[in-house]
Structure 1
Amino acid sequence: MPTKSPLHPLLDEINRAAQAGLPFLAVTMTVTLPDICVSLASEDGRSNRDRYKNWCANHLGEGFSFLTPDDLYSIRCGVVHNGRFGDLQHNVERVIFALPDGNSFQNCQIGDAYFYSVVDFCRNFTGAVDAWFETNKDATIVQQNLPKLMQYRVGGFAPYIGGATVLA
């Protein structure tokens, strides 16, 4: 049986939040996933605008065909820093997410608006991250950066705490 990715708990929590009607949490974490991937794959362990956009261009594919990497970066910055979907000036001007109890949309554009069901958006995005990790998990730099990844530490995080599972 294959070992689960160290990203699995985060990706699982994102999808569970989306399904449980917690779209703010789900979407906010989802749009930060390219930052996490490029940080794992970068010599300096950091993300930046160009790395984020390159990751999106290379790994998101057809499931996000109406959004450019510039749109995605604008959405990420707007959501994380301003609580809005960014200053969309590229392919779309508005983003609309259908909630779990509403209509279902996947990668739709109507006029200047981009529509996606929050559950499908998160599931498709986390699927792309899973695929990226599976391809890159054995890269030396990814292996070097994995211990720095925020993750559950079962049994504690020595030398700071023992016994209890913590997030560190």
Structure 2
Amino acid sequence: MTSTPPELDAILAEISKALDAKLYYLAIAVALSVPDICACLECDPDKPIWATKEKYVGWCERNILGRFKNLDGEDLYRIRGGVLHQGHFEHPKSKFDRIMFLGPDSQFKAHDVVVHVAEGVVLGGVDAKELRLSGDLLQLDVVRFCESIMDAARKWVVSKESDPYVQKNLPNLVRYRPNGLPPFSVGVPTIA
């Protein structure tokens, strides 16, 4: 296998489609779920497990390390928790005071850059502290962020072509099935 199997590719394609449609929160949320998905694909399908922080961080450290200079597996896990459970990028244990993603239409270009904003600085007539912008601010390019995670997943799954657990788990990934899921839904578009 030299390409991404269709089961995982379906999820990654939805991230790309979300980026193309400028549904950036959706793209970020799904991209941040990819390490959970991949880590669980490595587990024995006859002994179902839940995703854990250790599995997520471990997968990121093995597969994403080096793609970001300011983010490690713990950081990604914390961002994931904030996005998926609370609808924001902050986490009380984060090493960043604020995280922001820049869209591709932004006049300002930055990716994986930490900027320190001092208290008392006035931005657009408003104190930075009032805007919750004081401290260390991590700026990420939304497209590059999502593409980094998707590329890591593609490389990982190709490396797992002979892993019996991954190969047995792949067909069970949730995806859009335009012709249904026989025998339950035949000819009926289904997400299953």
- Are residue 80 (structure 1) and residue 104 (structure 2) matched? no
Q: Deviations over 1:49-99 (max 9, x none)?
A: 100001111111322220122211111111001001131534322211001
Matches within 5 A, 1:1-168: 4-5=4-5, 6-43=7-44, 44-102=48-106, 103-111=108-116, 112-168=136-192
**Cα distance change, pair 3–126 in 1 and its aligned pair in 2 (3 A):** closer
Q: In 1, are the aligned partners of 2:2 and 2:158 still within 8 Å (CA)?
A: no
Q: In 2, are the aligned partners of 1:33 and 1:129 still within 8 Å (CA)?
A: yes
Q: In 2, are the aligned partners of 1:155 and 1:165 still within 8 Å (CA)?
A: yes
Aligned-residue offset at 1:19: 3.0
Whole-angstrom CA distance in 2 between matches of 1:16 and 1:72: 22
**Paired amino acid for 1:159:** P
Runs of 5+ consecutive residues of structure 2 not aligned to the other structure: 117-135
Structure 1 or 2, whichever has the larger Rg, is 2
RMSD of aligned Cα (Å): 1.9
**Paired amino acid for 1:11:** L
Whole-angstrom CA distance in 1 between matches of 2:82 and 2:110: 22
Whole-angstrom CA distance in 2 between matches of 1:19 and 1:113: 26
**Paired amino acid for 1:19:** D
**Cα distance change, pair 2–146 in 1 and its aligned pair in 2 (3 A):** same
Whole-angstrom CA distance in 1 between matches of 2:25 and 2:177: 26
Instruction: State the SS of the aligned residue for 1:105.
Output: coil
Whole-angstrom CA distance in 2 between matches of 1:136 and 1:30: 20
Q: Which has the higher helix share?
A: 1
Aligned length: 168
Runs of 5+ consecutive residues of structure 1 not aligned to the other structure: none
Give the TM-score, by structure 1 length.
0.90
Q: Deviations over 1:89-134 (max 9, x none)?
A: 3432221100121133222222322111111111111111111111
| Identical pairs, percent | 32
Whole-angstrom CA distance in 1 between matches of 2:94 and 2:87: 19
Which is worse superposed, 14-23 or 77-86? Answer: 14-23
